[in-house]
Amino acid sequence: MNKKILGVDFGDVRTGLALSDLTRTLASGAGTIKGGFETTAQAVCEVAIKNDVEKIVLGHPINMDGSCGFRSEKIKDFAKRLTEISGLEVVLCDERLSTANAHQILNLTNTRGERRKRIIDEMSACLILQSYLDRKV
């Protein structure tokens, strides 16, 4: 039987999480984590263990021209730390436009104010993970 895959949209303040179903067809929001680099890495690994995850898909912020900047290097460091702590495979997934797409969806559903702030990162993680799942079919 397949295990779940955890999607992560790492942020300096909030990190969004999403989980696949067991068939690896659909991504669903799994909450957010607040904290710094190390605190967040530990918390992501705890979520992975709790949910019997096989792999972590981490959003990778590549510039629109395909180049990698400072943020990309930070994500690579975060991926390395997740692997060290969890022992799980961490896959980097191009996240260009994931936050913009999440904002677009929230605009269409008229989600505003505090609710929007609470779920934007989780929504971005869902889009990153869903993109990965769709490519693997």
* Domain range enclosing 114: 4-136
Q: Please give the average pLDDT of every successive group of 10 residues along the chain, which has 137 residues.
A: 92 94 95 95 97 96 74 93 97 76 67 68 91 85
Confirm whether pTM is higher than 0.75.
yes
Can you give the pLDDT at residue 107? 67
Number of domains in the chain: 1
CATH assignment of the domain containing 33: 3.30.420.140
Q: Which amino acid is at 110?
A: N
Helical ranges in the chain per DSSP H: 37-50, 70-86, 98-108, 113-136
Q: How many CB atoms lie within 10 A of CB 72?
A: 15
